[in-house]
Each structure stands twice: as structure tokens, then as C-alpha cells.
Amino acid sequence: MLGVSTAAMDRQPVGADQAFSLQVSDWPLALGPFSVQGTLSKADDGLQVAIEAHWQAEGTCDRCLGRVEVAVGGRSQALTTDLGQGETWLQVIDQEVDLTPLVEEIEILSWPAKVLCAEGCLGLCPSCGKNLNEGRCQCAETAPPGPFDQLRDLLGKDD
Ligand SMILES: [Zn+2]
Ligand SMILES: [Zn+2]
């Protein structure tokens, strides 16, 4: 759990806020530790929690399935109260608010729609599975262009 203490906010008036910083060392896809900067603000309904974080994550190339470093990051915020409107809200347990849903939201929203190891990645051969970045396979020379080749050409043009 990515816990931040809410104890200092207990006796604060509505509108008061407090900044915090948290080091995250065990996020599933993160390639290393990263820091989360945030603010707790006293709202009419509990606390408003806003964070910002940026980190490098481990992704997979959409074409060749190779490992790719993906930069993710951004801002996210939520209340510690469920207002029943279907929005994300944060649980407070023993005076600690769990930031996990906010970090997850940043990761999902900032993850690139297309992940490639290189713009010109040739991908895997649809017949034999060979990584074509490492050289051509036998299939390319013997088989006529199939639907996968045409599809790959189409996808390639979108780049
Ligand atoms: Zn690739
Ligand atoms: Zn092949």
C-alpha cells in the first residue's frame, strides 16, 4: 500500500492543505524507484488528494514483443469519500490514505496507445515467429504474400 498519513489534517479547517512526497520502490512495472508529489486538502467531504508522478515502466513492443522502456506520468486526484457517483475514491485505513488507485490511474491514462522498440521494427514473422529484426526467415523467400503481410504493410503505412 502507498500510504500517506492523514493525521495532521484531523483538526484542520476546510480549505487547509498539506504537501507530501512519497518514494515508491516496488511498483509492479516500474524500472526503478520513483517519487510521488502530492497535496492533501481538507474538503467538505473528507480529504481531496492530488498527486503527480513520472516514472519509467517496462513495456512490450507491439510488433516483436521485445522489451521497451515506456515513460509514463501525469496527475490524478480523488476524494477520500465515496459520493456514490461512480468516481474513484480513496480508502483511509488507520489514518493512512492509500494512493494506489491514483498511481494506477496515471499509469493507465498515460500508457502510450502504441508501444514500439523502434519506429522501423519489423516484428515477428506470422508464419514461423522469427524476430525479423534479427534477419529474414525462410518463409519470406518461399511463400507468396499472405494476408498477414498485407496487414503488416497497411500497419506500416500508418507509421
Ligand atoms: Zn519491436
Ligand atoms: Zn518466417
pLDDT (tens digit per residue) in 50-96? 999 999 999 999 999 999 999 999 999 999 998 888 888 999 999 99
**For the segment 122-137, what is each residue's pLDDT rounded down to a tens digit?**
999 999 999 999 999 9
57 and 131 housed in the same domain: no
Compute, in angstroms, the gap from residue 11 CA to the centroid of ligand 1. Answer: 54
Return the ligand number nearest the Cα of 68.
Answer: 1
Total domain count for the chain? Answer: 2
Q: Is the pLDDT of residue 142 over 70?
A: no
Ordered DSSP codes for 122-145: --B-TTT--BGGG---SHHHHSPP
Q: Please state, rounded to an integer, the average pLDDT across all residues of the chain.
A: 91
Q: Is residue 117 part of a domain?
A: no
Q: Is the pLDDT of residue 143 over 80?
A: no
Compute, in angstroms, the gap from residue 25 CA to the centroid of ligand 1. Answer: 28
Return the ligand number nearest the Cα of 137.
Answer: 2
CB-based neighbours (< 5 A) of ligand 2, an ion: 125, 127-128, 137, 139
Q: Which domain holds residue 58?
A: 3-110
Q: Is residue 56 part of a domain?
A: yes
Return the ligand number nearest the Cα of 143.
Answer: 2
What pTM value is reported for the model?
0.80
Phi-psi region of 61 (alpha: psi -120 to 50; beta: other; left: phi over 0): beta
Residue with cell 502507498: 2
State residue 150's pLDDT score: 66
Per the CB < 8 A criterion, the answer to whether 74 and 108 are in contact is no
CA distance 90 to 105: 12
State residue 157's pLDDT score: 56
% of the chain residues with pLDDT over 90? 77
State residue 84's pLDDT score: 86
Q: Is residue 116 part of a domain?
A: no
58 and 21 housed in the same domain: yes
